[in-house]
Amino acid sequence: MLGTGLIKGLAVTAKNLVGSYHDPARYTTLEYPEVKPKLPEAYRNFPFLVTENATDPMGTLRCVACQICEKECPPQCIYIEKSKDKKPDAAGKPQIYPAVFAIDTSVCMSCQICVEVCPFDAIKMDQEYEIATTDRFGALLLNREQLAKPNSYYHQIHPTEAVEVDARLAEERRAAEEKAKAAAAAKSAPKSAAPAPKPPAAPSAEAPKPPPAA
Amino acid sequence: MSVSDLTPLSAPGGSTVRAVHDEFHGDLLEVSMGPHHPSTHGVFRMIVTLDGETIVKLKPVFGYLHRNHEKLGENTTYLASMPYTDRLDYLNSMTNNWAYAVAVEKLAGLAVPERAEYVRVILAELTRLLNHSCLAGFLMQDCGCSGTPLMYAFREREKILDLFESLSGSRMMCNYQRFGGCRVDPSADWLAGAQRLTDGYGAFLDEFEALLTGNEILMARTQGVGRLSSALAISAGVTGPALRATGVAHDLRKVDGYGVYPRFDFRVPLGDHGDTYDRYMIRILEMRESLKILSQALAGLPGGPIMDPKAKLRGFRPKAGEAYGRIEGPKGEIGFYLISDGSANPYRYRVRPPSFINLTILEDMCLGRTVADAVIILGSVDIVLGEVDR
Amino acid sequence: MDTVEQLRDRLLARFPGAGITVVANPSPAAQHSLLLTAATARDLALFLRDEPGLQFDQCSNVTGVDWPDKEIVDTTKVTLPDPAGGPPKVVEQKSKRVEPGCLEVVYHLYSIALRHGPVILRLRTANRTDSVTLPSLTPVWRSCEFQEREVFDLFGVVFAGHPDLRRILMWDGYQDHPMRRDYVEPDSYEWEPTPHGEVLAKARQHYPAPAAAPEAPKP
């Protein structure tokens, strides 16, 4: 009969209208500024730099200014200048650090490729999303002071991932220390009849992961 | 057609309507629909020539969103093009990622672990669900049914986007596939969520169909409108639901059998009139088939690694050569053609955009119809301007 | 389906002297292609479309590739007799030659009826400047219409026999072809706060006033 389709459709809209008052499956919106959504752990927004120590953020940046993220960044929004000198990192090893590390968040497209390619777990994705500003130019270009956030913050926003990263870094540091100890022991060992094999040339503590091919 | 005697009709400052004279038709009216017209799904423009109310000529105008995506692809590394593919057809970033990954895997000869293939199928079918739901909503919007079906579709789409967000970190710009696998392994929680969604989506489709499929106004507005013959559709390179609505059994999931699709039991719905209603109906039926694939894929998901351990993230340089990889995206055949010269950037990076090529026959479908029909026909072709203009 | 060599032989049997070359693809994809000559391309395309057993009814993808002129340095060893009467010397002589580039159009054909493919056709122009005309395959496959317009727009290949050859993505009146390898982007610049050196240098050219120097991020 002509009109049954219409009446059926009206029944559906009526069901949804009434349902939106009591059924959470039919009323799915949030009243945003008052009620905030619970973000999934994987949610990503813009990158930040991990520092080991919140009290000395610039002294304990994990970043060693290797510039891999700068090269791989698709929209080229990262800018790094290497330092001329070396500073001790969290493990006490002298390292180059970024004298300038800037991210233009008006260009950044939150793709996470910098995080994936970083061999030092130094750059991670933030979850801060209320970042609107009235200053289109200056306020969206973040320098390293604005980018640096402590590891504890990383644990807060990505707990599972951060625990994995910490475990991996601790393991790498331990392995590097053992290797360094073994190398030192081999050096100081008395020169026996057979010439001792040369200790590994590269101090592996400097590069926790093998350097990239590119 | 010789266009002469141009008389701007509207006030100074640019006209969207002008009178043209044609020796054969007599006095005609040329209407510029778009680029800022709500029915054009973005910044698309059609120059429609009308004889009374009847369309006698329709020329699409592209390029308002052109950013030379292909040139960007040639100037960045293979990996860095992956997030750009999200932005082609921004409703379906997962399938764009997959198509690009397929092309690069062909080029470099990478194998994909079985678990990753299953996850890709799950994500592609979820993408198909969200694209087709949204399309049905948009089509109703174009018919003048303002809001209601679209909002119901968006409500369900948001559930799928929540799944994408909790897996990849972003609702729409997922950037999830990698060459030789996927970026992160879905957790058991995530898979349970996908299962819940799959179980509940059928009920939504039933409700959606009760609202729309039997609706007399929809039938009157769409049946017999924008007919497309199968011969023209094949010749014009139309792919996806628009081709299957003309009755051509061509679904790359069956034809190429890429990934692990041959393992799943599903059917390819076909239309027989090739009109707008068929194009709507095909998509509803395809969603039901997608649900079948989803439950089979979720049930059969094997363990194991999600990435090929040999795949390199940094310093990826495939050997010289070329490859064309294609998959069945929700809008049709999305393909990537890559030429490598052995360096870190592709020498040539080409996207085969289904929405762009499906627009080839827009004029043929609209001739003899009215402007109001042209809006619906365009809506049923299913375009996203991010992909059309690239 | 036939291999690409078998297909070439089949085409040559039907069109002797058509000048078909197999272009090998060394990648693992192994999608080899057929290089056709402009004179016979449309006849061959019609044959590929209509011949029972081939029936390539869908031209899926049409695209252009730019191969710029290459300067090649040849090194040849020449034996020169020593005028002083000593043993002849072997001297390396270097000669430069320019290998002319071309614009290439690539067609990916599939058969929906017989479910096989792809067959990849390539057409090359004589050079990149004045002789850039190729036959249009739009009369054979309608799907070439917009894609050939795109190749015309972005690469500058002129398709003879195309029903409506206009720019499609760039605007009418635009001069250059942006997908060519030697395309130089126009010198337009919008000030933006960036620490990138080369962008800043460009900014200074456009904004010589002190306002041009955006604040460098503090170290």
User: In the numeric block, which tokens belong to residue B263?
Assistant: 């393992």
Nearest to B83 among A43, A111, A214 (CB): A111
- Residue C119's Cβ-side half-sphere holds a number of Cα atoms within 13 Å equal to 31
- Confidence class for position B126, pLDDT limits 50, 70, 90: very high
Least trusted range by pLDDT, from B36-40, B341-345, C133-137? B36-40
When comparing pLDDT for B84 and C2, which is higher? B84
Residue B140, classed as helix, strand or coil, is helix
Residue A98: what pLDDT?
A: 84
Chain A interface includes B239 (CB < 8 A): no
Q: What is the pLDDT of residues C16-38, one digit of tens each?
A: 888 888 888 888 888 888 888 88
- Confidence class for position A174, pLDDT limits 50, 70, 90: confident
Question: Which chain B residues contact residue A117 at CB under 8 A?
Answer: 79, 313-314
When comparing pLDDT for A136 and B127, which is higher? B127
Residue B46: what pLDDT?
A: 86
Inter-chain residue contact A104 with C193, CB threshold 8 Å: yes
The residue-averaged pLDDT of C104-126 equals 89
Distance CA C146, CA A108 (A): 33
Question: What DSSP element (H or E) covers B129?
Answer: helix B114-143
Q: What is the pLDDT of residues A179-212, one digit of tens each?
A: 888 888 877 765 554 444 444 444 444 444 444 4
Q: Examine the pLDDT at B200 and tell me if it is beyond 60.
A: yes
- Please identify which residue in the block is written with the tokens 């500073």: A87
Which residue of chain A is at minimal alpha-carbon distance from C190?
A137
How close A3 gets to chain B, by Cα (Å)?
7
Cβ distance A59 to A53 under 8 Å?
Answer: yes
The residue-averaged pLDDT of B146-153 equals 85
Percent of chain B with pLDDT over 70: 96
Helix/strand/coil (H/E/C) assignment for every residue in B341-377: CCCCCCCEEEEECHHHHHHHHHHHHHCCCCHHHHHHH
Which residue of chain A is at minimal alpha-carbon distance from C196?
A79
Residue C87: what pLDDT?
A: 77
Chain B interface includes A177 (CB < 8 A): no
- Confidence class for position C218, pLDDT limits 50, 70, 90: very low
- Confidence class for position C189, pLDDT limits 50, 70, 90: low
- Residue C127, CA distances (Å) to A39, C130, C131, C134 in order: 56, 7, 6, 11
For the CA atoms of chain A, what is the radius of gyration? 26
Question: Which chain C residues contact residue B389 at CB under 8 A?
Answer: 169
Q: What is the pLDDT of residues B312-352, one digit of tens each?
A: 777 788 888 899 999 999 999 999 999 998 888 899 999 99
Question: Which chain C residues contact residue A100 at CB under 8 A?
Answer: 195, 216-217, 219
- Confidence class for position B118, pLDDT limits 50, 70, 90: very high
Percent of chain C with pLDDT over 70: 85
Residue B198: what pLDDT?
A: 92
Q: Which chains touch C (3 or more CB pairs under 8 A)?
A: A, B
Inter-chain residue contact B214 with A4, CB threshold 8 Å: yes
Q: How many CB pairs under 8 A join A and C?
A: 35
Residue B102: what pLDDT?
A: 92
Question: What DSSP element (H or E) covers C103?
Answer: strand C102-111
The residue-averaged pLDDT of B204-233 equals 88
The structure's pTM equals: 0.85
Inter-chain residue contact A12 with B315, CB threshold 8 Å: no
Residue C206: what pLDDT?
A: 67
Inter-chain residue contact A44 with B169, CB threshold 8 Å: yes
Q: Examine the pLDDT at C93 and tell me if it is beyond 60.
A: yes
How close A141 gets to chain B, by Cα (Å)?
21
Residue A25: what pLDDT?
A: 78
Question: Which chain C residues contact residue A145 at CB under 8 A?
Answer: 218
Nearest to A109 among B77, B83, B168 (CB): B83
Looking at the DSSP bridge assignments, the partners of residue B327 are B334
Inter-chain residue contact C196 with A76, CB threshold 8 Å: yes
- Please identify which residue in the block is written with the tokens 């007399």: B216
Question: Which chain C residues contact residue A138 at CB under 8 A?
Answer: 193, 215
Inter-chain residue contact B106 with C27, CB threshold 8 Å: yes
Distance CA C91, CA C76 (A): 8
Least trusted range by pLDDT, from A178-187, B156-165, B167-176, C185-194? C185-194
Residue A201: what pLDDT?
A: 44
Nearest to A214 among B83, B175, B315 (CB): B315
Question: Which chain C residues contact residue A106 at CB under 8 A?
Answer: 192-193
Residue B346, classed as helix, strand or coil, is coil
Cβ distance B163 to B157 under 8 Å?
Answer: no
Inter-chain residue contact C27 with B248, CB threshold 8 Å: no
Question: What DSSP element (H or E) covers C116?
Answer: strand C116-124
Q: Examine the pLDDT at A113 and tell me if it is beyond 50.
A: yes
- How do B348-352 and C21-23 pair as beta strands? unpaired
Inter-chain residue contact C143 with B236, CB threshold 8 Å: yes
Chain A interface includes B162 (CB < 8 A): yes
Nearest to C59 among B68, B237, B335 (CB): B237
Q: What is the mean pLDDT of chain B?
A: 86
Q: Which chains touch B (3 or more CB pairs under 8 A)?
A: A, C
Least trusted range by pLDDT, from A167-176, B184-193, C15-24, C84-93? C84-93
Q: Examine the pLDDT at B13 and tell me if it is beyond 70.
A: no
Which residue of chain A is at minimal alpha-carbon distance from B184?
A42
The residue-averaged pLDDT of B121-150 equals 88
Which residue of chain C is at minimal alpha-carbon distance from B364?
C142
Chain C interface includes A143 (CB < 8 A): yes
Inter-chain residue contact B216 with A3, CB threshold 8 Å: yes
Inter-chain residue contact B107 with C141, CB threshold 8 Å: no
Q: What is the pLDDT of residues B248-289, one digit of tens each?
A: 999 999 888 888 999 999 999 998 888 899 999 999 999 999
Which residue of chain B is at minimal alpha-carbon distance from A113?
B80
Nearest to A214 among B162, B216, B344 (CB): B344
Question: What DSSP element (H or E) covers A149?
Answer: strand A148-150
Inter-chain residue contact C63 with B348, CB threshold 8 Å: yes
Least trusted range by pLDDT, from A87-91, A146-150, B114-118, B240-244? A87-91
The residue-averaged pLDDT of A24-29 equals 80
Q: Examine the pLDDT at B121 and tell me if it is beyond 90.
A: yes
Residue A197: what pLDDT?
A: 46
Length of chain A: 214
User: In the numeric block, which tokens belong to residue C49?
Assistant: 């479309």
Distance CA A143, CA B73 (A): 28
Neighbouring CB atoms inside 10 A of B201's CB total: 22
Question: Which chain C residues contact residue B250 at CB under 8 A?
Answer: 112
Hey, which bits of B199-343 come out as E strands?
321-329, 332-340
Cβ distance C113 to C57 under 8 Å?
Answer: yes
Residue B282: what pLDDT?
A: 92
Question: Which chain B residues contact residue C67 at CB under 8 A?
Answer: none
Chain C interface test: which of B46, B59, B61, B62 (most C C-beta within 10 Å)? B62
Residue C54: what pLDDT?
A: 85
The residue-averaged pLDDT of B22-27 equals 74
Percent of chain A with pLDDT over 70: 86
Task: Compute the 3-state secondary structure of chain C and give helix, strand, coil in percent, each to the nearest 5.
Answer: 20, 30, 50
Which residue of chain B is at minimal alpha-carbon distance from C146?
B360
Inter-chain residue contact A79 with C196, CB threshold 8 Å: yes
Residue A80: what pLDDT?
A: 86
Structure ipTM: 0.85
Inter-chain residue contact B184 with A40, CB threshold 8 Å: no
Question: Which chain C residues contact residue B325 at CB under 8 A?
Answer: 29
A residues 177-196 lying closer than 8 A (beta carbon) to C: none
Which residue of chain C is at minimal alpha-carbon distance from A138?
C193
Distance CA B70, CA B324 (A): 15
Residue C8: what pLDDT?
A: 84
Residue C85: what pLDDT?
A: 73
Residue C16, classed as helix, strand or coil, is coil
Neighbouring CB atoms inside 10 A of B3's CB total: 13
Distance CA C204, CA C216 (A): 14
Inter-chain residue contact A113 with B175, CB threshold 8 Å: yes
The residue-averaged pLDDT of C90-109 equals 85
Inter-chain residue contact A213 with B210, CB threshold 8 Å: no
Please name each of the domains of chain C with its CATH number: 4-67+103-173 (3.30.460.80), 178-208 (no CATH)
- Residue C215, CA distances (Å) to A183, C195, C218 in order: 47, 8, 8
**Which value, to the nearest 10 degrees, does the dihedral of the CA atoms of residues C192, C197, C203, C209 take?**
110
| Amino acid at site C87 | P
Question: Which chain A residues contact residue C214 at CB under 8 A?
Answer: 137
Residue A32: what pLDDT?
A: 87
Cβ distance A51 to A82 under 8 Å?
Answer: no
